[in-house]
Structure 1
Amino acid sequence: MALPALRALEDCADFAQAVKPFIPQLYALPAKLLDVFAGRETLLRLYTETNPLVSGFAASVAFGAVFLVVAEINRNYSQVDRCWSILPTLYIAHFDVWARLAGLPSQRIDLALLYSIVWSTRLTYNYWRKGGYGVGHEDYRWEIIRRQVPRSVFHVFNWTFISFIQSILLFLIAAPAYTLLLASTIEPNVTGADMVFLAIELGLILTEYLADHQQWVYQTAKKQYKDTGKVPQGFTKADLDRGFITSGLWSCSRHPNFAAEQSIWFFLYQWSCYATKTLYSWAAVGPSFLILLFQGSTWLTELITAGKYPEYREYQRAVGMFVPTWFSAYKAPAIVPKIIRTSELSKKLEQKQR
């Protein structure tokens, strides 16, 4: 059996019944793959007879090995970053395909896959337009970390966190879809609550899109100001000299896009809890680790930003990192700290005007 024989919805969220019995399949998988290569087994049969949680986890480990090799060969450690917006959707699609091949109801997973495809499309496009898929592009934070630690320590960091742990994380945040699959074997029909969760997910994706778009427009205007010394329409000189966006969604949250990203996967987990009538389950591991990861990466991002822009510390005091602390929008301080100007060309223009 590739799935447990469960009688109650609550059992679908029970690690001891839904996951633990299939762990031995993970250990046996390498030998069975050798049988496939030797022609003694078909890949389709192996796929359908292996628990989908086990095969999905095994795939994440295999991807981790690929990320490791490519990163070390190219000395570029953004390999996982390039696949971040794609792999969770592939894993949910994996659960969906497996359910269909097994002849099981897949309507709930279809809904999860629908929002995830929208999420992937939007995030992939945003990463592409920022140059993420350009040859040699690497997240600037990896370079900063490399400078701060010995080379051997960074290689260990790549072997563990960057390549393997992040790859497995991308599977774990999609793993609640497995719980939805199990719940569908007992209660196959889509309910109004499922549609509410879908609407929440799509609303969070819209929020993330608006936040990223607002930041893109600001950064584009700042670059134009830096190149030409002219303030683009819709902005003021003070806005661009500040160096970072404080308007729109960014006036209430320092990272509204990050807040939405974490919430998207947390609500998939909550969806699985609702479907199984449980308050919590083992599926919380993925979204919980994702939230912890964002705490660390955002702390590093803000440390760098605060070192570049004097007003940022005031912005940190006034605006919540993810959740708004006040309902009023951010207002620049009356006494602005000494500003590091965005454009040296603008200084020359001001001197000419004098």
Structure 2
Amino acid sequence: MALPALHALEECADFSKTIQPFIPQLYTLPQKLVDVIAGRESFLELYVDTNPLVSGFAISLALGAVFLVVSEINHNYSQVDRCWSILPTLYIAHFDAWARLAGVSSARIDVALLFSTLWSIRLTFNYWRKGGYSVGSEDYRWEIVRKNVPTAVFHVLNWTFIAFIQSILLFLIAAPVYIILLASRFEPNLTSADLAYVTIELGLILTEYIADQQQWNYQGAKKEYQKAAKVPRGWSQLDLDRGFIASGLWGYSRHPNFAAEQSIWFFLYQWSCYATNNLYGWSAVGASFLILLFQGSTWLTELITSGKYPEYSHYQNSVGMFVPTRLSSYKTPVVKPKIIRTSELAQRQKQKQK
């Protein structure tokens, strides 16, 4: 039996009933894969007979091993980064495919896959145009971390967090769809709440797209300004001399794209709670860990940025990191020239003569 025998909708979020009984499948899965390779068992039968959460988690572990080996061979630690925009959608597609093969209604999972696919397209495109898929490309923050920690410590960090924990995280943020899959056995049809959650998700993806495009436009204008020493049309010299974007959505949030990204997976978790009439559940672990990860990575990003641009500290004090803290957009502080009185000039002259 690949799915638990449940008697109430609320039980779909019960860890002891929906996950714990299937943990032994994780231990026997390697041997069964060997049987498939040897031709003693059908892969399709193994796929359908294995709990989809277990098989998805197993895939994340296998990918973590691949990321580890490739990163250590190439000395490039952005292997997970290159797959970040794709894997959550592939995990949701896995739940969708499993539901169809097992005869479970997939209507609610289909719409989750729809928003996730659009999320993947947006993020993959943005990562590509920034050169993320170029040969040798690596997140600049890993280089900074390598320079500030002992080599042995960094390798331990790679063996644990960078390769495996991040890989598992990308599965866990998609795991609430498993709960929606279980709930679909009780409520197989799309509900108005499902459509409302998808609408919220699409709105957050649009917010990310707008924020990314505003950042892209600003960086392009800044590069043109630095190269030609001429302010591009539609921009002011004050904005470009600042060195970082502080207009549009960025005038209200220092990281509007990050805020939307965290919200996307938090609302997917909330969707699973609503679908099972629960206030909270075990599937919060993925969204919660993602939020914690963003706290640390954003702190490091801002530490680097504040060291490059003098005005950034004022920007930090004026604009919220993720959530807007005021209704008006950020304004660059006007530095008034100091007025030197004639008496002060005379006094300085006398001091020089002494």
Range of TM-score over shorter length: over 0.9
Runs of 4+ aligned residues of structure 1 deviating over 6 Å after TM superposition are: none
Aligned to 1:63: 63
Displacement of 1:34 after TM fit?
Answer: 1.0
Match status 1:143 vs 2:143: yes
**Does the CA contact (< 8 Å) of 1:7 and 1:186 recur in 2?**
no
Correspondence list, 1:209-220, <5 A: 209-220=209-220
Equivalent position of 1:351 in the other structure: none
SS of alignment partner, residue 282 of structure 1:
coil
Deviations for 1:97-154, whole angstroms, at most 9, x for unmatched residues?
0000001100000000000000000100000000000000000000000000111110
TM-aligned CA deviation for residue 335 of structure 1: 2.1
Calculate the TM-score normalised by the size of structure 1: 0.94
CA distance in 2, matches of 1:72, 1:224: 37
Paired residue secondary structure (1:310):
coil
Cα distance between partner residues in 1 of 2:177 and 2:241? 46
Greater Cα offset, 225-234 or 168-177: 225-234
Match of residue 86 from structure 1: 86
Aligned equivalents of 1:112, 1:24: Cα separation in 2: 29
Secondary structure of the structure 2 residue equivalent to 1:185: coil
SS in 1 for 2:231: coil
Q: Which consecutive unaligned segments of at least 5 residues does structure 2 have?
A: 338-354
Distance 1:138 1:223 in 2: 21
| CA distance in 1 between partners of 2:187 and 2:236 (Å) | 56
Structure 1 CA distance for aligned equivalents of residues 301 and 5 of structure 2: 47
Larger Rg: 2
1:189 aligns with 189
2:276 & 2:283 partners in 1: Cα distance? 12
Residue 60 (structure 1) shift:
0.2
Once the two structures are TM-superposed, the CA of residue 328 in structure 1 deviates from its matched residue by 1.0
What residue number does 1:158 align with?
Answer: 158
Given the two structures, how large is their TM-score scaled by the length of structure 2? 0.94
Equivalence for 2:42: 42
Give matches, 1:121-270, under 5 Å: 121-270=121-270
Any idea what the Cα deviations from partners look like across 1:24-75, whole Å, max 9, x if unmatched? 1001111111111111111111100000000000000000000001101110
**Unpaired stretches in structure 1, ≥5 consecutive residues:** 338-354
Cα offsets for 1:2-34 (capped at 9, x unmatched): 000111111000101111110010011111111
Which residue number in structure 1 is paired with residue 98 of structure 2? 98
2-side partners of 1:256 and 1:191: how far apart?
30
For residue 336 of structure 1, report the CA deviation from its aligned partner. 8.2
Which residue pairs with 1:343 in the alignment?
none
When the two structures are aligned, how many residues end up with a matched partner? 337
Give the secondary structure class of the aligned counterpart of 2:185. helix
- Quick one: which amino acid aligns to residue 179 of structure 1? I
Letter in 2 for 1:125: F
CA RMSD of aligned residues (A): 0.9
